[in-house]
Amino acid sequence: MEESLLPVLLLALGVGLMQLCSCSSPADTVVCTDGTSNCTVTNTYGSYTDRAICHAANVTYPRTEEELVAAVAAAASAKRKMKVATRHAHSVPKLSCPGGQEGTLISTARLNRTVRIDAGRRHITVESGMVLRDFIAAAAAAGLALPNAPYFYGLSIGGLLATGAHGSSLWGKGGAVHEYVVGLRIVTPAPASRGFAVVRELGADDPDLDAAKVSLGVLGVISQVTFALEPLFKRSLTFVKRDDSDMADQVARWGTLHEFADLTWHPREGKVMYRQDDRVDVSTLGNGLSDLLIFRASPTEMLVAARAAEELMQLKDSNDTVRCAAAQLQASTLEQQAYGFTNDGVSFTGYPVVGYQHRVQASGTCINSPEDGLLTSCAWDPRINGSFYYNSGFSIPLSQAPALVADMQRIRDLNPDMFCTGVDGRLGMVLRYVKASSAYLGKPEDSIDLDVIYYRSHTYGTPRLYADVVDEIEQMALNKYGGLPHWGKNRNFAFDGAITKYPKADKFLSVKDRYDPDGLFSSEWSDQVLGIDGSPNIVKKGCAIEGLCVCSDDSHCAPEQGYFCRSGKVYREARVCSFIKD
């Protein structure tokens, strides 16, 4: 491959190095042929893990809680399946698809208002369709801050709670947003005598709140959520790059040292970028801003070129040296630009970046944008042939983290270059802290969450270069170290048996039986994931390449292309598709 392709490869991830934006906001994930009827629904990537198209009879857009109750009652009276749709459905798995083919979608896109702010108690109540960006802004306007949040602010409050979404912290209540919920209102089906739908108000002491805080959307529609916040504060962050030789010792410790700590591991480089990030007094100078490059809009032309280059690099006779150089150049470019952090909202002049919580906790300017005819877009927008990737995220108990890191390093040491396409070639592996939760589907123990994104082909069953490395790590984390898949990320096999690792799953299911006895908010996918009916695995030709199964037979890989089902290199119990040269 030509050296001249290298700059283009920087954008393999869709990293926007230009700031041209007036960009196109993301596509609607619900599309109907006949007004609000005869619809399809997908996720923000335009493709669920099984690549199937999800059909729904129709969609409604309630603007008030009364309209929401009416929508649930109408479907419940007809015993019709239903599902909440958010504006952009960022979850990777098939969570936003209603059961059957003729369900109703209830969109929360227009339920996006602030209901009430109680400044004295520092409580804020919002409608569930509010996007995180607007929530953070509304809180800040009242002098309040949500201490932890996902790093991308395009997610909705209802959706991010449903999947247990988090930032990173072991301090205070921890990294997960649901820890800050002190009440909510949820609309559930009801008997005819009660009008087919009711609003249930759950206060802080209601045990059902532990079910509703992280619900996968199967209990009903959350209408409003009340959070307990903190006075707006400032933080000071610095990225510290170190050799990874003592990473196994540092991995659990780092989170106890800094309130907003995280780590990004670049296995091929043998480096860890430690995020040293703490609260500081509000009088500390600085007006820093997070506008992460990976969540900025990028010129479509560059995204398309980057994808083409990435596809070339997937060819198995292409060259590791070039791939690794590209990965290294990308990492150093991001590092030089401080990942998109600035000290004053304009330029980066050096660490530490000091700023108010609401300006540095999350970003996502690619969603802000007016239409520009798709000249620019979010990197993952399916309307252009840009970035298309898998996103795996799984947490393991913090106590297991040193052993998992040591095992991953053993795999790496066999041949570091294997990581250039899958891990270093993207963002590296991001490790974040989440505390044990009382939520029935939250983390049972203090945990560390490992997040990776990697290449996905547009064509079913196409082998991915060095797929065996990432697949072995995922199986090792899930099976050897008791890993739990993020509910809103991952490929099918990661959910196989996951529910058995939640000690309070039975409590969750009994609330579900009370709230929605006919399973109207349940789907094939949620039944498979919750262990109610069927398996999340789809076993067929090529399934292991797609992550729909763990291979047990060569046909689950691509034997005709030299990919066979083999043991892992370090974790021998893993079964992964490996390229075997003749």
Q: How far apart are CB 514 and ligand NAG at their closest, in Å?
A: 26
Using CB under 6 A as the binding rule, whether residue 109 contacts ligand NAG is answered as: yes
Using the rule CB under 6 A, is 384 a contact of ligand NAG? yes
As given in the structure block, the two tokens for residue 429 are 């592996």
Runs of H (alpha helix) within 10-64: none
Q: What angle do CA 75, 78, 83 make, to 5 degrees?
A: 30
| Per-residue burial over 554-580, b = 16 or more CB atoms within 10 Å of its CB, e = otherwise | ebbbbeeeebbbbebbbbeebbbbbbe
Based on the shown chain and the rule CB under 6 A, indicate whether residue 343 belongs to the binding site for ligand FAD: no
Q: Taking CB positions, which residue lies at the least distance from ligand FAD?
A: 159
484: left (phi > 0), else alpha (psi -120 to 50), else beta? beta
Question: Angle of helix 401-414 relative to helix 467-475, nearest 10 degrees?
Answer: 160
Rounded Cα–Cα distance for residues 106 and 86 (Å): 8
Q: Where does this chain touch ligand FAD (CB under 6 A) — which range of 8-16, 162-170, 258-266, 459-467?
A: 162-170
Query: Residue 168: which of 399, 445, 430, 432 has the closest Cα?
Result: 432
Q: Which of residues 78-97 bind ligand NAG (CB under 6 A)?
A: 78
Query: Nearest to residue 567, comparing CAs of 468, 435, 454, 444?
Result: 468
C-beta of 47: minimal distance to ligand NAG in Å?
13
Residue 475 CA to residue 549 CA, distance in Å, equals 11
492 within 8 A of 556, measured Cβ to Cβ: no
Q: Based on the number of CB atoms within 10 Å of its own CB, is 321 exposed (0-12), middle (13-18) or buried (19 or more)?
A: exposed
Work out how close the CB of 422 gets to ligand NAG at its nearest, in angstroms, rounded to a whole number.
19
The residue among 144 and 214 lying less far from ligand FAD, judged by its C-beta, is 214
Q: Which stretch binds ligand NAG (CB under 6 A): 316-324, 356-364, 414-422, 555-563?
A: 316-324
* Least distance between ligand FAD and beta carbon 222 (Å): 4
Q: Say whether 97 sits in a helix, a strand or coil.
A: coil
512 binding partner (options ligand FAD, ligand NAG, none; Cβ < 5 to 8 Å by kind): none
Measure the CA angle with vertex 376, ends 373 and 377; round to 5°: 100
- Contacted by 385, from ligand FAD, ligand NAG, none: CB < 5 to 8 Å by type: ligand NAG
Residues between 216 and 255 that touch ligand FAD (CB under 6 A): 216-217, 221-222
Closest approach, Cβ 102 to ligand NAG, in A, equals: 6
Smaller CB separation from ligand NAG, 457 or 555: 457
Q: Which of 7, 113, 242, 436 touches ligand NAG by CB under 6 A?
A: 113
CB of 18 to ligand FAD, least distance (A): 19
Establish if 490 lies at the interface with ligand FAD (CB under 6 A): no
Q: Choose between 34 and 281: whose C-beta lies nearer to ligand NAG.
A: 34
Phi, psi (deg, nearest 5) at residue 347? -135, 160
Residues within window 484-503 making contact with ligand NAG, judged by CB under 6 A? none
The distance between the two most distant Cα atoms of the chain, rounded to a whole number of Å, is 72
Task: Say what angle helices 320-336 and 300-313 make with each other, to 10 degrees.
Answer: 150
Nearest to 426 by CA among 274, 264, 579: 264
Binding mask 62-101 for ligand FAD (x = CB under 6 A): ---------------------xx-x-xxxx---xx-----
Of 30-38, 294-302, 516-524, 541-549, the window that binds ligand NAG (rule: CB under 6 A) is 30-38
Residue among 101, 319, 332, 552 that touches ligand NAG (CB under 6 A)? 319
Which stretch in 108-116, 166-174, 209-217, 500-508 sits in contact with ligand NAG by CB under 6 A? 108-116
Distance, in Å, from the CA atom of 442 to the CA atom of 286, rounded to the nearest integer, reads 35
Within 10 A of 232 (CB to CB), how many other CB atoms are there? 16
Query: Which one of 26, 103, 147, 150 is in contact with ligand FAD (CB under 6 A)?
Result: 150
Q: Which stretch binds ligand NAG (CB under 6 A): 53-61, 242-250, 394-402, 536-544?
A: 53-61
Separation CA 392–CA 488 (nearest Å): 9
Tokens of 525: 């996918």
Instruction: Give the count of residues interacting with ligand NAG (CB under 6 A).
Output: 19
Residue numbers at the binding site for ligand FAD (CB under 6 A): 44, 83-84, 86, 88-91, 95-96, 108, 128, 150-152, 155-156, 158-160, 162-163, 165-166, 216-217, 221-222, 488-489
